Structures are given as C-alpha cells and as structure tokens.
Amino acid sequence: MANELNERKIIDALSDVRMPNSDQAITDAGDVSGIVIKDGHVSFTVEIDPKEKDKAEELRRACEKAVLNLDAVLSATALLTAHQAGPGLNARADDLNTSVRANQQTRTGPHQPATHAIAVASGKGGVGKSTTSINLALSLAALGKRVGILDADIYGPSLPRLLGLNRKPQSDGKRILPIEAWGLQTMSIGYLVAEDAPTIWRGPMVMSAIEQMLRDVAWDKLDILVIDMPPGTGDAQLTLSQRAALAGAIIVSTPQDLALIDARKGLNMFRKVNVPLVGIIENMSHFLCTECGARHEIFGNGGAKAEAAKLGVPFLGEVPLEMTIRSTSDEGKPIVASQPDSPHADHYRAIAMAVIDTLERNTPKSGPKIVVE
C-alpha cells in the first residue's frame, strides 16, 4: 500500500530536517535507531553530537514535525541522545567519587525533579525490584504523597506491563508529559518501544536517555520520585547519582546468600558516590502454604535483616513470596492498588511508612523565624 508506514519513510522524512546553522541533514549528522511504528504512532531515537546538545529541543521538535507530516501518522515522539565520555565500567571507586563531586560543581548541577528522589536498586536481576518499586510508589501515594515513578531500566523496562499501560506519552511542545496511572505520574522508555523490541544502545546513549527522562519530563510538583534502577552497578547508576539530586537509595534483595553478596556491592556503590542509604528490603522472605498455613523459607530467611544490621543501615521490612503479588503484577494491577486491604498490601505500606520516616529524619529542619513587629 502506498500510504503504509515503514522505517524507510520515517528516515526519508527525517532527512529533510537540517542541523541548526547548517545544510547537513540530521540523518547524516546522527544515527537514527529504535524506530517503532504502531497503529499510526511513531517513536524513534536520534543520536547527535554532544556539541549540538544545546539545540536538542529545537531538533526534537523539528524531527517530530517532519514525521507528523507523513500520511497516516497520528503522533510522533523523538528521543534525542548525545554521547559524552564518562568513567568506564572499570573505573576505580575513588575516580567515581571525583567524578560525582566534579559534576556537582558544574553550572547546571544535579536535576531535582521532586522534593525527594529515591533510587530503588538491586545488585542483581530477578529479586523483584520493579514489583517492589511500583508497590512502594503506590503505598507512598496512599499515604498522601504526590508520587512519580521513573523506570530507568533502559534495557529491560517493566513499568508498562506492571501498570497495564500500552500508550505513548504526549508532549506539550517543550517537554514530555508523564502518563498518569493509579494516581502516579509515570515515565518509562518502554512507552516508546515495542515490548518485545530489544534496546541495542551503547552505554553513553543509555546515560543520555536517562538524563532526558529526568530533565525533559514535566514532573508536576512531586513530593517523591521513585526511580526503578537497572540491576547491578554501572553507568546508569552513576549517571543518576550525578544528574539527580538523590535523597537516598533503597536496596532490594532476597534472603539468599548469592543475592546478598550482590546487594552488598550495590550498597557500597551508593556509599562511594555519596548517596544516603534509606535501607534494605528483603523480598521473597518466605512462603505461606495456602493449604496448611505452614511457613516455608525457600531462599532462607532473615539474611537481609542481618546484613542491614551488620552494615549499619535501616532494615525497612520484608515481603513474602506470594502468588497474588506475582499475578496482579502480570495483569497490570499492582496489589497495593487492586487489593489495598489485603495483608500483602500491608507489607508495602509498612515499608513506605519506614521510608517516609527515614526521609523526614534525614531532611534538615529549617531554623526558627525571627519576626520583628
């Protein structure tokens, strides 16, 4: 069909976009990748030279306008990234500290999208970090906080599935508007790509995308932004430590010794980059048999609590291994939102209360005002 959208048509449309103060096409100046076409909605990524990053917003609008001019295109979303040299994965801890301090002294400084930005991290994948992040965010909102959640796991975004969302964010012409769901403001790279499409990006491109989601999303007067981190320790964690004014980090781990070893690495990384530690959550702490009520400690029990005591950080609580938590997550109906009166939701609310208490204790109190009459 003549009007059928395809990648070639998108690239041809973008070839009409010129770099500022130049006749060079943006397709010649940068790499176009990650093109996703779905029901007339188009998203794509353009990698540009870091020297052009000050013109990124102008270029983004021009790219979106060019694609919108195509027949059958209902919406267009462009993500511009700019590679910048940064510490390698094997950088020494001292180098990471130096890099963070240097960044905090730059003209722009860390971006503060909320009164408190909290990183939820894990030393390895598969420990339930993302499920914990979304239910923690919902619990914080249920306690009266204005909450947003940012899915910073570029390679494995899970927020769209956890929230049951299958739509693209809109733009107000200047910034990307977060998608509202279950009372939360949300953003994920998963909104811009197909669920089964791999994100084949180099490290600097990932870091640039994370920065853009922090800087160019119109977060609205948030009390708390929960940032669901990718697992492990690396460029993404370092970028967030540099670019977001993190109020603290939470480590999620199972009781298993192998998971605790990796959790310890994540905890020590945040210490190295001077991010306060809010505490440790033990996920999948135990399983209660639905037939007889017997408690089974499949991955061991109490390991995270003991590790927290050993390392001198708060233990925020435990969450059991429970089929309902898994099934509601898969259905896009997180248990705190869909079954708020369940005992499983109570676990997350108790953790949220502990998080708020820690944040308030760590927030400097303003001094008394002197009033002259």
Q: Look at residue 98 in the predicted model and tell me its pLDDT.
A: 37
Q: Look at residue 333 in the predicted model and tell me its pLDDT.
A: 92
- Per-residue pLDDT at 290 exceeds 80: no
Q: Tokens at residue 52, please?
A: 């052009």
CA nearest to 326, candidates 316, 335, 314, 315: 335
Average pLDDT score over residue span 295-303? 67
- Per-residue pLDDT at 39 exceeds 90: no
Position 336 confidence tier, pLDDT thresholds 50, 70, 90? very high
**Residue range(s) in the chain whose domain bears CATH number 3.40.50.300:** 93-362
Q: Look at residue 222 in the predicted model and tell me its pLDDT.
A: 94
Position 137 confidence tier, pLDDT thresholds 50, 70, 90? very high
46-60, 76-90, 204-218, 264-278: range with lowest mean pLDDT: 76-90
Residues 345, 337: Cα–Cα separation, whole Å = 8
**Sign, Cα dihedral of 254, 257, 262, 266:** positive
Q: What is the mean pLDDT of the chain?
A: 78
**Residue range(s) in the chain whose domain bears CATH number 3.30.300.130:** 7-82
CA nearest to 188, candidates 134, 266, 244, 235: 134
Average pLDDT score over residue span 132-156? 92
DSSP H helical segments within the chain, as ranges? Answer: 7-14, 26-29, 56-68, 93-104, 129-142, 159-163, 203-215, 235-243, 257-272, 303-311, 323-330, 335-338, 343-362
Q: Whose structure tokens read 């998608």?
A: 179
83-87, 224-228, 261-265, 320-324: range with lowest mean pLDDT: 83-87
Contact 165, 332 (CB under 8 A): yes
Average pLDDT score over residue span 85-94? 38
Residues 118, 112: Cα–Cα separation, whole Å = 11
CATH fold for domain 93-362: Rossmann fold (3.40.50)
More confident residue, 285 or 365: 285
Q: Look at residue 340 in the predicted model and tell me its pLDDT.
A: 92
CATH fold for domain 7-82: GMP Synthetase; Chain A, domain 3 (3.30.300)
More confident residue, 178 or 82: 178
Assign 1 to helix, strand or coil: coil
Assign 291 to helix, strand or coil: coil
92: exposed, middle or buried (Cβ count in 10 Å: 0-12, 13-18, 19+): exposed
pTM for this prediction: 0.70
Count CB atoms within 10 A of the CB of residue 247. 21
